[in-house]
Amino acid sequence: MSIAIAIHGGAGTLARQQMTKARERVVRAGLETALDAGLAVLRDGGSALDAVVAAVIRLEDDPLFNAGCGAVFNEEGDIELEAAVMDGYTRAAGSVMGVSRTRNPVRLARAVMEDTPHVTLGFGAADAFAQRIGLPQAPPGYFHTETRWKELQDELERRRREAPTLTDAVIGQGRGTVGAVARDMNGRLASATSTGGRNGKMAGRVGDSAVIGAGTWADDAVAVSCTGHGEWFVRGGVAHEISARMRLAGQSLEDACDSVVLGLLPRIGGEDAAGGVIAVDARGNIAMPFNCEGMYRAAVDAEGARVVAIYRPA
Ligand code: ASP
């Protein structure tokens, strides 16, 4: 049976006119590397779960993307990472929130799923668990990138100038997330998502990525990973809503994804509910809609068609 995989590097892309050829090349290369890592697992007969974790580890290790090394800072200048995995066949799920020392939060989310009786662990206790089971911890400064630090300073400066409301402050400017969905040779589906959250978020803020059913979901019909303004993805229960529309309303993968990303999200949140999803169904169809300017994304569908893209085709 045919394999399929899709990945995203976040809907927080640079505006088209700010994107240089050189930057586009490195972003595309980063996406290709992650896609190939997941694809290699699937081609070797590996599970969808192994494939999405392999792809997301590559994206977490790449400082270009807002996850792992390259994550944005909260308003206190600290890193608080979130990640989730879900295995559609078993409905096993694991997620972590507020992680600040573990190098690959997606591996920790998987360990929560496999090695604890729980679904979600948070903050210091999650890092302590990672350390206890021997997951690599990040040396001091590992998560600090100059680009993200500058984004935080710019955001804090903007807030000082514009005296924003609390709502504006929480929203911040920086975005992005990484994720992967896959279908393996046995027709099983899985998804994984990992993020630094929103630039300048309040300390302790948790978005959608690690909330099962909001930013991450997988069952036997569909696997979904989201990116975008997390508060709206939580309010819309977006990842699970896509599954519900397929199961209960008989929508195709494409219709379910479009109706949520282009219909539900703008309806409840207007332009503020910006973002997109990647999703794969049991036949290996892939959908990657977004309602904003761009979404870093790449996929190989069940027919073997390969796409790497940032914006809508011109
Ligand atoms: N969904 C992420 C969050 O709100 C950020 C993003 O994807 O832009 O935490």
Q: How far is the CA of 254 from the centre of ligand 1 (A)?
A: 22
Inter-CA distances, 105 with 53, 57, 170, 258, 261, Å? 10, 9, 23, 29, 26
Sign of CA dihedral 133, 79, 7, 234: positive
Q: Which of 171, 177, 193, 232 to mutate to test the pocket of ligand 1 (most atoms within 8 A of CB)?
A: 177
pLDDT in tens, the chain (314 residues): 699 999 999 997 778 888 999 999 999 999 999 999 999 999 999 999 999 999 999 999 999 999 999 999 999 999 999 999 999 999 999 999 999 999 999 999 999 999 999 999 999 999 999 999 999 999 989 999 999 999 999 999 999 998 655 444 333 345 789 999 999 999 999 999 999 999 999 999 999 999 999 999 999 999 999 999 999 999 999 999 999 999 999 999 999 999 999 999 999 999 999 999 999 999 999 999 999 999 999 999 999 999 999 998 75
Contact (CB, 8 A) for 218 and 88: yes
Pocket of ligand 1 (CB under 6 A): 10-12, 175-177, 195, 197-198, 207-209, 215, 227-230
User: How far is residue 63's CA from residue 8's CA, in Å, rounded to a whole number?
Assistant: 15
In whole angstroms, give the CA distance from residue 208 to residue 206: 7
CA–centroid distance, 193 to ligand 1, in Å, is 10
Ligand 1 atom closest to residue 209's alpha carbon, by position in its atom list: 1
Report the CATH number at residue 104: 3.60.20.30
Q: Where are the alpha helices (DSSP H) in 187-264?
A: 230-235, 238-249, 253-258
What's the total number of domains in the chain? 1
Spacing, Cα 176 to ligand 1 middle (Å) = 6
3-state helix, strand, coil in the chain (%, to 5): 40, 25, 40
Q: Whose CA is nearest to atom 9 of ligand 1?
A: 197
Task: Find the domain containing 280 and state its range.
Answer: 4-311
Taking Cα atoms as reference points, which of 102, 106, 143, 142 lies closest to residue 125?
Answer: 102
Active site residue 216: no
Going edge to edge, which strands form the sheet with 216-218? 216-218, 222-228, 275-281, 286-287
Tens of pLDDT, residue by residue over 197-236, are 999 999 999 999 999 999 999 999 999 999 999 999 999 9
Beta strands in 171-293 (DSSP E): 178-183, 189-195, 216-218, 222-228, 275-281, 286-287
